[in-house]
Amino acid sequence: MESICPLDVQFAPEISALLQSPPSHKAQEYFDNLIATRPCQGIKVKVDGDHGKGVYADAEFKEGELVLKDQMLLGSQHSTNKMDCFVCGSCFRFIGSIELQIGRKLYFQGLGVSSSNPCHSDSSDAEDDSCFIGDANLGECSASSSNGKIPVSEEVVESLMNGQLVLPHSDKFSLPLPFPCSGGCGEENYCSKYCADIDWQNCHSLLCTGEKSKSSCRRALSKFVEHANDTNDIFILAAKVIAMTSMRYKNLKEARLKEVGSVASNTATVDLSLLLEAWKPVSMGYKRRWWECIALPEDVDKCDEVDFRLQFKELAFESLQLLKAAIFDAECAPLFSLEIYGQIIGMFELNNLDLVVASPVEDYFLYVDDLPQSPRKEVEAVTRPILEALDDDYPIYCQGTAFFPLQSCMNHSCCPNAKAFKRENDRDGQATIVAITPIRIGEQVTISYIDEELPYEERQKLLADYGFRCKCSKCMDEKVN
Ligand SMILES: C[S@@+](CC[C@H](N)C(=O)[O-])C[C@H]1O[C@@H](n2cnc3c(N)ncnc32)[C@H](O)[C@@H]1O
């Protein structure tokens, strides 16, 4: 029988207010302000175009020119990728050292838990390939074979991890020292105190499993994380949205009380105007219920569709119960309704750009490979056994999912004029969108949500996951022919 979430009923009016599209002028003001904070000012968001919001050029762009560098609202690294890439939990820059990156990877590989594939996607991605928009292209991924690996000793792995073994020339690829989470969870590390503080204030203080956590039940939190890791790590991102909104609510409330000279006290009453303000950045994202927008896989019969969708709804409900046990806040109760949870996850499915950061370990081995022959031989005497232990697994990128407020306003075209592309110096989790054709002032900036080289019908099938059929010039041509 279908589970009913009591909060859906109890807070129906508040939920409906949260899910209402913001008025055009408010949305326009929000995006104008956001663009003013970004380094790229040559674009404009129009909030009431043919397909809802869209991004338009406000300046000419040449082919190859950067159109947008967008700071994520929230993002998370795939859980399995955490074993391969040690990155900052806030900006997703690689941290530690080349040796630590390699040592950790070999350690987890030894335990048999590494994802062992540069193109690896975890269970959450495997079950639904619709969650990438404009794959942040880092070139071809090479296939991995675990068979060819020749392990190095545990001592070597340990000395890589503890810094006793220093690889030749690795100083040319120095990385920021890891800054551990101050809450004591031991799970999150950062590239700086700045990033640690930002994440703590943004959402991590509620989601930290360490002793300084603000969660009401750390055990429940661990269970929630475990459930997400076992099922779909998009739940972690949804939890971050709820935690971020709760934190914003608390801060706004405190600021408002300060203004009138009162002291904050916990009440069980929802202040809807404060909640709407706290929710504002999320309110701007295009949303649908997760279980309704998931693509029906080819092997699921149309007559089983209702059951298929119900399974996802139940899974979300299960996850939400665990999250509620860990961070429920009566003043923000509507955020813990299944309707809101489903819409947040749906927003990720429809808007997310893959979070991809290139690995400095790959750069290091490429550098060694490019050395002149005689020094290379000497260096390779040290690096070859390590490379053989990693086999094809060394160029693993940091991979995850993130929501980018401006990039997520970009509409699709099968003949796009821009794409997500990480350039040589783009070494963190920000989205970079570059022009792939010249773009004129006033022209819409479009990206492709899918592989635009696929045949017409296949493209339409994939785009059905986003709820539309494409009518771009390429589709119109191919439809006729
Ligand atoms: C990532 S959002 C893009 C921004 C969106 N237009 C909005 O108003 O927020 C993706 C959604 O935009 C709409 N969309 C994007 N490209 C489209 C297109 N070429 N034709 C029709 N709808 C499109 C679809 O509803 C899609 O699910």
ipTM of the complex: 0.99
Whether 464 lines ligand 1, by a CB cut-off of 6 Å, is no
Name the pTM for this structure: 0.89
> Does the CB atom of residue 46 touch ligand 1 within 6 A?
no
Q: Which band of pLDDT confidence, cut at 50, 70 and 90, is reported for residue 396?
A: confident
Classify residue 25: in a domain, yes or no. Answer: no
User: Is residue 143's pLDDT more than 60?
Assistant: no
Q: How far is the CA of 204 from the centre of ligand 1 (A)?
A: 31
Ligand 1 center to residue 4 CA distance, Å?
31
CA 45 to chain centre: 22
pLDDT tens sequence across 44-94: 999 998 899 999 999 999 999 999 999 999 999 999 999 999 999 999 999
| Residue 10 domain flag | no
Residues 375, 379, 384, 387, CA torsion sign: negative
Residues 105 and 233 in one domain: yes
Structure tokens at 408: 């997520």
Please return the burial class of 49, using the count of CB atoms within 10 Å of its CB with bins 0-12, 13-18 and 19+.
middle
- 456 and 328 together in one domain: no
What pLDDT is recorded for position 115?
61
Residue nearest to atom 9 of ligand 1 (CA): 286
Pairing relation of β-strands 444-447 and 411-412? parallel
Find, among 22, 1, 19, the residue nearest to 11 by Cα: 19
The C-alpha atoms of residue 471 and residue 393 are separated, in whole angstroms, by 40
Tokens of 103: 């040592």
Ligand 1 midpoint to CA 52 (Å): 7
- Report yes or no: 433 and 68 within 8 Å, Cβ to Cβ: yes
Q: Tell which atom from ligand 1 comes closest to the C-alpha of 285.
A: 9
Residue 200: closest CA among 177, 256, 165, 189: 189
Pocket test for ligand 1, best of 47, 353, 410, 411 (most atoms within 8 A of CB): 411
Q: Is 134 left (phi over 0), alpha (psi -120 to 50) or beta?
A: left
CA 198 to CA 192: how far, in whole Å? 10
**Same domain flag for 138 and 63:** no
Among 365, 381, 400, identify where a domain stops. Answer: 400
Are both 138 and 212 inside the same structural domain? yes
Nearest to 389 by CA among 57, 157, 186: 157
Give domain status of residue 474, yes or no: yes
Residues 215, 105 within the same domain: yes
pLDDT of residue 214: 95
For 160-214, write each residue's pLDDT tens digit.
999 999 999 999 999 999 999 999 999 999 999 999 999 999 999 999 999 999 9
CA of 445 to the centre of ligand 1 (A): 12
Say how many domains are in the chain. Answer: 2
In 3D, which of 45, 50, 6, 49 has the Cα closest to residue 26?
Answer: 45
Q: Determine the pLDDT at residue 252.
A: 95
Measured from the Cα of 286, ligand 1's closest atom is 9
The answer as to whether 421 is a domain residue is: yes
SS3 27: helix
- Domain span at residue 218 reads 74-400
Per-residue model confidence as pLDDT tens digits over 352-380: 678 999 999 999 999 999 999 999 999 99
Same domain, 156 and 265: yes
Ligand 1 close to Cβ of residue 459 (< 6 A) = no
DSSP 347-369: HHHHH-EEEEE--HHHHHHHHHH
Residue 44 β-bridge partners: 56
Looking at residue 408, which CATH number applies to its domain? 2.170.270.10
Strand extents, DSSP E, 118-206 = 179-180, 189-190
Binding site membership of 468 for ligand 1 (Cβ less than 6 Å)? yes
409 lines ligand 1 (CB under 6 A): yes
Per-residue confidence at 481, pLDDT binned at 50, 70, 90? low
Centre of ligand 1 to C-alpha 188, Å, is 34
Specify the residue with its C-alpha closest to ligand 1, atom 18.
Answer: 412
Amino acid letter at 453?
E
Residues 367, 414: one domain? no
Q: Which of 51, 55, 401, 406 to mutate to test the pocket of ligand 1 (most atoms within 8 A of CB)?
A: 51
Mutation probe of ligand 1 site: the residue of 43, 468, 473, 474 with most atoms within 8 A of C-beta: 468
Q: Is residue 16 part of a domain?
A: no
Residue range 103-139, pLDDT digits in tens: 999 999 888 776 654 333 333 333 333 333 434 444 3
H or E, element range at 437: none
> Is 88 found in the same domain as 50?
no
Q: Would you say residue 5 lies in a domain?
A: no
310 and 432, same domain (yes or no): no
Residues 445-473: tens digit of each pLDDT: 999 999 999 999 999 999 988 889 999 99
CB distance 348 to ligand 1 below 6 Å: no
Is 19 domain-assigned?
no
φ and ψ at 75, to 5 degrees? Answer: -155, 165
* pLDDT-based confidence at residue 220 (cuts at 50, 70, 90): very high
Same domain for 423 and 392? no
| Position 250, amino acid | K
Burial of 380 (0-12, 13-18, 19+ CB in 10 A): middle
* Binding site membership of 469 for ligand 1 (Cβ less than 6 Å): no
254 with 117, same domain: the answer is yes
Among protein residues, the one with the nearest Cα to ligand 1's atom 22 is: 51
Q: Is pLDDT at 2 greater than 80 in this prediction?
A: no
Residues 113 and 193 in one domain: yes
Question: Which of 400, 424, 448 finishes a domain?
Answer: 400
Query: pLDDT grade, residue 147 (50/70/90)?
Result: low
Q: Residue 1 has what pLDDT?
A: 67
Assess whether pLDDT exceeds 60 at residue 145.
no
Of 349, 381, 400, the residue at which a domain comes to its end is 400
Q: Whose CA is nearest to atom 27 of ligand 1?
A: 466
**Number of the ligand 1 atom closest to the C-alpha atom of 413:** 19
Let me know if residue 29 belongs to a domain: no
Mean pLDDT of 22-37: 95
CA dihedral 251, 331, 15, 215 (to 10 degrees): 80
